[in-house]
Amino acid sequence: MGFLRLTWIDFIDILVIGVLIYYFLRFIRGTRALQMMAGLIMIFFLAFIADFLNLQGFSWIMSGFKTAWIVAFVILFQPEIRNALATLGKTRFIRAFIREEEDIIAEIANGAIELSERGIGGLIVIEKRTGLKNYIDTGISLDAKLKSDLISTIFTPYSPLHDGAVIIRGNTIVAAACILPLSDSPNLPHTMGTRHRAALGIAEETDAVAIVISEETRKISIAVGRELKTDIARDKLKEELQKLLL
């Protein structure tokens, strides 16, 4: 019989599992969960023995116990599980990720607010899970770092990029002057122009979030799903985007 060949991927796998087990045991140390975990391990061990010896009746009973025990573990230790998730959310990596997302939202919100204050129309689309390549290809590629002043510059009247939509992916302005599908929703007031129909159109067809700034009224609207939220207060825009994007 030959020896098992371990690759560096296997070593990483073992290391990750070991670290997870260590921190899990460290977390439940001194809590009721430790006793529950011991019972759960015993049930899994007995179930393994039953399967190994082909004890079908006993194996069936143990399978039922396993399911019930796992459900009971989750129900009884909701506070501990919540604390564990809260602790995970406070880790440096998670905090850094959330901070970056908040910075992105701040840049987008500040750009939209500046357009509103200056009475400049604009259409900003934020890509989420659904790829927007088909719409990106209709515009002019930028691949520029997201900055609020760049957003306002793009939509400045007589700029070659001011017509169409800006599409943002992560912290990058991917493209400008993009053409979007127009919504034919009968619920849109006749006072809503092409930008609003385009914002709702892209929101209807994808999971993207679209921000519209009206040139005439200076009002800010957000399109998401099949809904167009109109007249968003400037000081509430960042909060609204956080609800949709974080």
Kindly state whether residues 110 and 194 are assigned to the same domain.
yes
Range of the domain at 159: 101-245
The residue among 66, 89, 112 that closes a domain is 89
Each residue's pLDDT, cut to its tens digit, for the chain (246 residues) gives 455 566 778 788 888 888 877 776 666 565 556 666 666 677 777 777 877 787 777 777 767 766 666 676 666 666 666 666 666 655 555 556 567 888 999 999 999 999 999 999 999 999 999 999 999 999 999 999 999 999 999 999 989 999 999 999 999 999 999 999 999 988 888 878 899 999 999 999 999 999 999 999 999 999 998 899 999 999 999 999 999 998
Kindly state whether residues 107 and 13 are assigned to the same domain.
no
Q: How many CB atoms lie within 10 A of CB 208?
A: 24
Kindly state whether residues 77 and 182 are assigned to the same domain.
no
Looking at residue 120, its pLDDT comes to 97
Kindly state whether residues 108 and 188 are assigned to the same domain.
yes
Measured CA to CA, the distance from residue 118 to residue 195 in angstroms comes to 17
71 within some domain: yes
Task: Please name the residues in contact with 162: beta carbons below 8 A apart, sequence gap of 6 or more.
Answer: 154, 155, 156, 177
Kindly state whether residues 131 and 63 are assigned to the same domain.
no
Kindly state whether residues 109 and 203 are assigned to the same domain.
yes
95 within some domain: no
Domain count, the chain: 2
- Whether the model clears a pTM of 0.85, i.e. scores above it, the answer is no
Whose CA is closest to 174, among 125, 238, 210?
A: 125
Kindly state whether residues 131 and 229 are assigned to the same domain.
yes
The residue among 40, 60, 89 that closes a domain is 89
Looking at residue 1, its pLDDT comes to 47
1 within some domain: no
Kindly state whether residues 109 and 221 are assigned to the same domain.
yes
HEC secondary structure over the chain: CCCCCCCHHHHHHHHHHHHHHHHHHHHHCCCHHHHHHHHHHHHHHHHHHHHHCCCHHHHHHHHHHHHHHHHHHHHHCHHHHHHHHHHHHCCHHHHHHHHHHHHHHHHHHHHHHHHHHHCCCEEEEECCCCCCHHHHCCCEEEEEECCHHHHHHHCCCCCCCCCCEEEEECCEEEEEEECCCCCCCCCCCCCCCHHHHHHHHHHHHCCCEEEEECCCCCCEEEEECCEEEEEECHHHHHHHHHHHHC
Kindly state whether residues 127 and 237 are assigned to the same domain.
yes
What CATH number is associated with residue 119? 3.40.1700.10
Kindly state whether residues 108 and 218 are assigned to the same domain.
yes
- For residue 65, give Cα distances in angstroms to 13, 50, 76, 181: 29, 13, 16, 54
